[in-house]
Structure 1
Amino acid sequence: MTPSRSRLYAYAIHPLHAVMLAGSLALWLGAALSDIAYFRTYEIQWQNFASWLIVGGLVFSAVAVLFSLFGLRGAVRTRGSAIYALVVVAMWVIGFFNALMHARDAWASMPGGLIMSLIVVVLALVATSMGFRTVRTGELK
């Protein structure tokens, strides 16, 4: 009788990495929606909301950047993991410049802050889809 091997699907990404990546997407999306609301209503509080959501997005994205850079270790590095790391780093860098843009006077941050927020949301969507798309398998003995 030969031993049978069963396949086990492992996590595509570490659960903490998944939480940080998904949380950053939600925060970046909230900042973009706040920017849109400010652009339409001129209520300064929407700008304040966007600024705080961007700070949260930067914190969550920084952890996701660390996880993506750890994913570039020699044994597990693939072309996909390198592209994913570039997208996550680009998301964080543009988000950082977006935070600097939002530090200006409220109306001075428009329309540049809104455009940057939309770019960061697109990058966050791409990073999230890339992060959760990877399927890894392992063997049980």
Structure 2
Amino acid sequence: MAVMIERRYSEVIHPLHALLLAGTIPLFLGAALSDAAYAATYEIQWNNFASWLTAGGLVFGAAALVFAIIDLCRAHRRARGAAIYAGLLLLMWVLGFFNALIHARDAWAGMPAGLNLSVIVTVLACAVAWFGFCTPHMGGRK
């Protein structure tokens, strides 16, 4: 008589994946705050800070996206929540990339769009991190 045990619990994500995912929040938040400081003071260095922080957030986000895609390919982690998480992470990365392109322009030329995109990407980074840490994954190994 074969016994099949179906485990239903929230598996934790890999610690390196968690570090990379959580690292996107302070980087994108720092970019948004730097953009806000630039809008208030017109000091060009704040725009430079925002550019570098956005680039760092993109590096961390790309590495977390690689982990998310690997998780999608693993049979025991395939769930609707994992696909939504990977999609949100991809959306965050794409918007962050457009934000980096806007920050590559002249500082004042990219001002309202850069600040707005920085805030949107920061909110998305928080949502993606919450979703990545709280999404239950179905585990059904024999």
TM-score range, shorter chain: 0.7 to 0.9
Q: How many angstroms does 1:71 deviate by?
A: 1.4
SS at match of 2:23: helix
Normalised by the size of structure 2, how large is the TM-score? 0.86
Normalised by the size of structure 1, how large is the TM-score? 0.87
Contact 1:12 1:134 in 2 (8 A): no
Contact 1:31 1:49 in 2 (8 A): yes
Aligned-partner residue type, residue 126 of structure 2:
L
Q: Does 1:71 align with 2:51?
A: no
Deviation by residue 1:93-122 (Cα, 9 ceiling, x = unmatched):
000010000000010011000111011011
SS at match of 1:111: helix
Which stretch has the larger CA shift, 75-84 or 128-137? 128-137
Is there any run of 5+ residues in structure 1 with no aligned partner, and where? Answer: 1-6
Deviation by residue 1:67-87 (Cα, 9 ceiling, x = unmatched):
111111151211100000000
Which residue does the alignment assign to 1:98? 99
SS at match of 1:107: coil
Query: What count of residue pairs does the alignment treat as equivalent?
Result: 131
CA distance in 1, matches of 2:13, 2:83: 14
Q: How many angstroms does 1:10 deviate by?
A: 7.4
CA distance in 1, matches of 2:50, 2:65: 21
Aligned-partner residue type, residue 50 of structure 2:
A
Contact 1:12 1:131 in 2 (8 A): no
Contact 2:24 2:61 in 1 (8 A): yes
Is there any run of 5+ residues in structure 2 with no aligned partner, and where? Answer: 1-6
SS at match of 1:100: helix
